[in-house]
Amino acid sequence: MTQLPDPLVFDTGPLRHFAEKGWLGVLKFLAGDRGVLIPESVERELKRQIHQLPALDQVLSADWIHVDRSDDVAFVMAFARYEQRLAVGEQNLGECGVLALGNVRGFETVLDDGVPRNLAKDEGIRVTATLPLLCRAIREERLTVPMVEALADDLLASTYYLPFETGCFRQWALEQGLIEYK
Protein backbone atom coordinates (compact mmCIF):
# COMPACT_ATOMS: atom_id res chain seq x y z
CA MET A 1 0.00 0.00 0.00
CA THR A 2 1.15 3.53 -0.73
CA GLN A 3 2.16 5.43 2.40
CA LEU A 4 0.19 8.65 2.80
CA PRO A 5 1.31 11.38 5.24
CA ASP A 6 -1.95 11.74 7.16
CA PRO A 7 -4.77 10.43 4.99
CA LEU A 8 -8.45 11.14 5.27
CA VAL A 9 -10.27 7.82 5.63
CA PHE A 10 -13.60 8.02 3.82
CA ASP A 11 -16.75 6.01 4.34
CA THR A 12 -18.81 4.75 1.42
CA GLY A 13 -21.55 7.42 1.55
CA PRO A 14 -19.60 10.51 0.54
CA LEU A 15 -17.69 8.64 -2.17
CA ARG A 16 -20.89 7.15 -3.59
CA HIS A 17 -22.93 10.33 -3.64
CA PHE A 18 -20.17 12.67 -4.79
CA ALA A 19 -19.40 10.25 -7.66
CA GLU A 20 -23.09 9.87 -8.53
CA LYS A 21 -23.52 13.64 -8.87
CA GLY A 22 -20.20 14.32 -10.63
CA TRP A 23 -18.43 15.98 -7.68
CA LEU A 24 -15.85 13.27 -6.85
CA GLY A 25 -12.96 15.56 -7.84
CA VAL A 26 -13.96 17.90 -5.02
CA LEU A 27 -13.09 15.18 -2.48
CA LYS A 28 -9.67 14.79 -4.13
CA PHE A 29 -9.22 18.56 -3.94
CA LEU A 30 -10.25 18.65 -0.26
CA ALA A 31 -7.82 15.88 0.67
CA GLY A 32 -4.93 17.51 -1.18
CA ASP A 33 -1.53 16.09 -0.26
CA ARG A 34 -3.03 14.10 2.60
CA GLY A 35 -4.63 11.68 0.17
CA VAL A 36 -7.68 9.48 0.51
CA LEU A 37 -7.70 6.06 2.07
CA ILE A 38 -10.54 3.56 2.27
CA PRO A 39 -10.64 0.29 4.15
CA GLU A 40 -11.23 -2.89 2.21
CA SER A 41 -14.77 -3.02 3.65
CA VAL A 42 -15.63 0.27 1.88
CA GLU A 43 -14.17 -1.09 -1.34
CA ARG A 44 -16.42 -4.18 -1.01
CA GLU A 45 -19.50 -2.00 -0.40
CA LEU A 46 -18.71 0.05 -3.50
CA LYS A 47 -18.20 -3.10 -5.59
CA ARG A 48 -21.56 -4.47 -4.42
CA GLN A 49 -23.30 -1.25 -5.50
CA ILE A 50 -21.58 -0.72 -8.86
CA HIS A 51 -24.27 -2.59 -10.82
CA GLN A 52 -26.84 -0.05 -9.52
CA LEU A 53 -24.57 2.95 -9.97
CA PRO A 54 -21.90 2.64 -12.69
CA ALA A 55 -20.39 6.01 -11.59
CA LEU A 56 -18.81 4.10 -8.71
CA ASP A 57 -16.23 2.82 -11.18
CA GLN A 58 -14.70 6.32 -10.92
CA VAL A 59 -14.08 5.69 -7.23
CA LEU A 60 -12.77 2.15 -7.64
CA SER A 61 -10.40 3.09 -10.46
CA ALA A 62 -9.17 6.42 -9.06
CA ASP A 63 -5.40 6.38 -8.61
CA TRP A 64 -5.70 8.86 -5.73
CA ILE A 65 -7.94 6.62 -3.62
CA HIS A 66 -5.89 3.98 -1.85
CA VAL A 67 -7.27 0.80 -0.30
CA ASP A 68 -5.97 -0.33 3.09
CA ARG A 69 -6.01 -4.11 3.32
CA SER A 70 -5.01 -4.36 6.98
CA ASP A 71 -5.19 -7.79 8.52
CA ASP A 72 -3.07 -7.31 11.62
CA VAL A 73 -4.53 -8.41 14.95
CA ALA A 74 -5.15 -4.90 16.30
CA PHE A 75 -7.13 -3.87 13.20
CA VAL A 76 -9.11 -7.13 13.06
CA MET A 77 -10.04 -6.87 16.74
CA ALA A 78 -11.10 -3.22 16.40
CA PHE A 79 -13.14 -4.04 13.28
CA ALA A 80 -14.87 -6.91 15.10
CA ARG A 81 -15.71 -4.65 18.04
CA TYR A 82 -17.31 -2.05 15.74
CA GLU A 83 -19.04 -4.77 13.74
CA GLN A 84 -20.78 -6.00 16.90
CA ARG A 85 -22.03 -2.47 17.61
CA LEU A 86 -22.95 -1.20 14.14
CA ALA A 87 -23.36 -3.95 11.56
CA VAL A 88 -26.76 -5.13 10.44
CA GLY A 89 -26.05 -7.98 8.07
CA GLU A 90 -23.74 -6.49 5.47
CA GLN A 91 -24.80 -2.92 6.23
CA ASN A 92 -22.42 -0.53 8.01
CA LEU A 93 -19.33 -2.68 7.46
CA GLY A 94 -17.70 0.27 5.71
CA GLU A 95 -18.10 2.38 8.84
CA CYS A 96 -16.58 -0.46 10.88
CA GLY A 97 -13.45 -0.43 8.72
CA VAL A 98 -13.21 3.37 8.80
CA LEU A 99 -13.53 3.41 12.59
CA ALA A 100 -10.99 0.60 12.97
CA LEU A 101 -8.42 2.50 10.86
CA GLY A 102 -9.08 5.65 12.86
CA ASN A 103 -8.76 3.79 16.13
CA VAL A 104 -5.72 1.65 15.37
CA ARG A 105 -3.75 3.92 13.01
CA GLY A 106 -4.83 7.34 14.31
CA PHE A 107 -6.04 8.48 10.88
CA GLU A 108 -8.69 11.18 10.57
CA THR A 109 -12.01 9.66 9.56
CA VAL A 110 -14.70 11.19 7.37
CA LEU A 111 -18.09 9.92 8.52
CA ASP A 112 -21.33 11.62 7.56
CA ASP A 113 -23.63 9.25 9.46
CA GLY A 114 -24.34 10.45 13.00
CA VAL A 115 -24.10 7.17 14.93
CA PRO A 116 -20.59 6.16 13.79
CA ARG A 117 -19.42 9.81 13.95
CA ASN A 118 -20.60 10.07 17.57
CA LEU A 119 -18.98 6.73 18.37
CA ALA A 120 -15.71 8.04 16.93
CA LYS A 121 -15.96 11.20 19.04
CA ASP A 122 -16.71 9.15 22.17
CA GLU A 123 -13.62 7.02 21.56
CA GLY A 124 -11.29 9.94 20.80
CA ILE A 125 -10.93 9.07 17.11
CA ARG A 126 -10.21 12.06 14.89
CA VAL A 127 -13.41 12.54 12.94
CA THR A 128 -14.97 15.03 10.58
CA ALA A 129 -17.69 15.02 7.95
CA THR A 130 -17.88 16.32 4.40
CA LEU A 131 -19.69 19.56 5.31
CA PRO A 132 -16.98 20.73 7.75
CA LEU A 133 -14.34 19.87 5.13
CA LEU A 134 -16.19 21.96 2.56
CA CYS A 135 -16.62 24.84 5.00
CA ARG A 136 -12.92 24.74 5.88
CA ALA A 137 -12.13 25.06 2.17
CA ILE A 138 -14.44 28.10 2.00
CA ARG A 139 -12.72 29.71 5.01
CA GLU A 140 -9.34 29.05 3.39
CA GLU A 141 -10.70 30.63 0.17
CA ARG A 142 -10.08 27.42 -1.78
CA LEU A 143 -13.80 27.03 -2.60
CA THR A 144 -16.57 29.59 -2.90
CA VAL A 145 -19.91 29.62 -1.13
CA PRO A 146 -21.83 29.55 -4.45
CA MET A 147 -19.89 26.45 -5.54
CA VAL A 148 -20.61 24.61 -2.29
CA GLU A 149 -24.26 25.72 -2.47
CA ALA A 150 -24.52 24.13 -5.93
CA LEU A 151 -22.77 20.97 -4.71
CA ALA A 152 -25.05 20.70 -1.66
CA ASP A 153 -28.18 21.23 -3.74
CA ASP A 154 -27.03 18.52 -6.20
CA LEU A 155 -26.46 16.09 -3.33
CA LEU A 156 -29.87 16.91 -1.86
CA ALA A 157 -31.46 16.12 -5.24
CA SER A 158 -30.38 12.52 -4.69
CA THR A 159 -30.98 10.47 -1.55
CA TYR A 160 -28.12 12.12 0.36
CA TYR A 161 -29.07 13.52 3.73
CA LEU A 162 -27.81 16.96 4.71
CA PRO A 163 -29.03 18.87 7.78
CA PHE A 164 -30.74 21.57 5.71
CA GLU A 165 -33.09 21.95 2.75
CA THR A 166 -32.24 22.84 -0.83
CA GLY A 167 -31.00 26.41 -1.06
CA CYS A 168 -30.20 26.64 2.66
CA PHE A 169 -26.49 25.70 2.85
CA ARG A 170 -25.29 29.27 3.43
CA GLN A 171 -27.81 29.91 6.22
CA TRP A 172 -26.98 26.61 7.92
CA ALA A 173 -23.19 27.13 7.68
CA LEU A 174 -23.50 30.66 9.10
CA GLU A 175 -25.72 29.47 11.96
CA GLN A 176 -23.23 26.69 12.75
CA GLY A 177 -20.33 29.15 12.75
CA LEU A 178 -18.60 27.19 10.00
CA ILE A 179 -18.28 30.16 7.64
CA GLU A 180 -18.30 33.88 8.19
CA TYR A 181 -20.75 36.36 6.74
CA LYS A 182 -19.14 38.45 4.02
Pair 25, 114 in one domain: yes
Q: For position 2, what pLDDT does the model report?
A: 53
- pLDDT at 4 (0 to 100): 73
Domain span at 158: 145-175
Same domain assignment for residues 85 and 163: no
108 and 34 in a single domain? The answer is yes
20 shares a domain with 51 = yes
> CA 10, CA 139: separation in Å to the nearest integer?
22
Say if residue 109 is in the same domain as residue 151: no
Count the domains in the chain. Answer: 2
Residue 83 lies in a domain: yes
Considering the domain architecture, whether residues 164 and 75 belong to the same structural domain is answered as no
Name the strands in the sheet holding 108-110, side by side, starting at the edge strand that comes first in the sequence: 65-68, 36-39, 8-10, 108-110, 127-128
- Three-state secondary structure call for residue 56: helix
pLDDT of residue 158: 87
CATH number of the domain that 62 lies in? 3.40.50.1010
Residue 2 covered by a domain: no
Q: Do 87 and 32 have their domain in common?
A: yes
Predicted local confidence at residue 5, as pLDDT: 77
Residues in the chain where the model's pLDDT stays below 70: 1-2, 182
